[in-house]
Copies of this chain bind each other. A is one copy, B any other.
Amino acid sequence: MPHFVVTYVHRDPTGWARHLDAHLRWLVERVESGDLRASGPTTGTETQSARWERTALLVFAAADEEALRAVVDTDPYLAEGQVQEMTVTRWDPIFGVFAEESSRAGTGDAELLEHLAELAR
């Protein structure tokens, strides 16, 4: 199943705090349902923005972008207009912990490397 990396930027400290608990409970439910594979707050390693903001990165598994959007739209933060910026990036995590959920499921490293080398020729 395809994976999607979603990032949020929150810019309203009051709204962020008010809906945090509902958002966190939604995260726990989405992990239990299998839609959400990993999630947590992010911090830039460069200079931080002067204005207040909170940021997060979420990794979902979804059949396609439409299915992903349908899930994300149920996040209380989205429903309450508390995500001021969002990015969605499709990700095929062929190495590491998600390998068997990715496009290379069932393919060993040697076979995968040969296949990818072909693509580069």
Contact = CB atoms under 8 A, between A and B. Distances in A.
A120 B28 contact: no
A56 B102 CA distance: 14
B117 A20 contact: yes
Given A45-B65, A57-B89, A88-B45, A96 B39 contact: yes
A37 B97 contact: yes
A116 B40 CA distance: 12
Nearest to A7: B89
12 contacts: A16-B120, A25-B113, A28-B95, A37-B96, A38-B95, A38-B97, A38-B98, A40-B91, A40-B93, A41-B91, A44-B90, A97-B97
